[in-house]
Amino acid sequence: MTTVHVRLRIDLGPACSIGPGKVALLEAVDRGGSLSGAARDLGMSYRRAWLLLEEANASFDEPLTRSSVGGAGGGGVELTEFGRALVTTYREFERSVDALGAKHFRSLAARAAAPKRGAPTRRRPLNRR
């Protein structure tokens, strides 16, 4: 049984684009409450995670994350309600698109070529559900 999987990126305006990278970062921040932990989770440098979060936060007229205070390690980062709404909307949309893709491409997927023996399989993005 072949599964159809759709990779997507959504442009909500000329300065606002959301894809799997930013969403996975927001989810990792939500899980661990820190940007350095999120960077580690996703196997990216702290600098790259910081820049990506910066870009995500500048994409809307309201921030997706805020600094949290207290806790054993001092201050951390947490999602705002708006940030959490974005993640939820993106993941719901992704599930709908995957279902729609399976419907549209069912007969074409049955004709997909078999992978060559020994050929590397295509890398799947991290933290994809």
| Residue found under tokens 């590397």 | 120
Count CB atoms within 10 A of the CB of residue 90.
19
Q: In the bound complex, what is the minimum distance in angstroms from residue 23's beta carbon to a copy of itself?
A: 12
Phi, psi values for residue 122, rounded to 5°? -65, 135
Point out which residues bind a copy of itself (CB under 8 A): 2, 4-17, 58-62, 82, 85-86, 89, 92-93, 96-97, 100-101, 104-105, 108-109, 111-116, 119, 121-122
Task: Select 8 or 45, whichever has its Cβ closest to a copy of itself.
Answer: 8
Task: Select 76 or 83, whichever has its Cβ closest to a copy of itself.
Answer: 83
Q: In the bound complex, what is the minimum distance in angstroms from residue 126's beta carbon to a copy of itself?
A: 15
Task: Select 16 or 126, whichever has its Cβ closest to a copy of itself.
Answer: 16
* Cβ contact 91:83 at 8 Å: no
Q: In the bound complex, what is the minimum distance in angstroms from residue 24's beta carbon to a copy of itself?
A: 17
Distance CA 85, CA 122 (A): 31
Q: In the bound complex, what is the minimum distance in angstroms from residue 88's beta carbon to a copy of itself?
A: 10
Distance CA 86, CA 125 (A): 19
Q: Which tokens hold the place of 18?
A: 């959301």
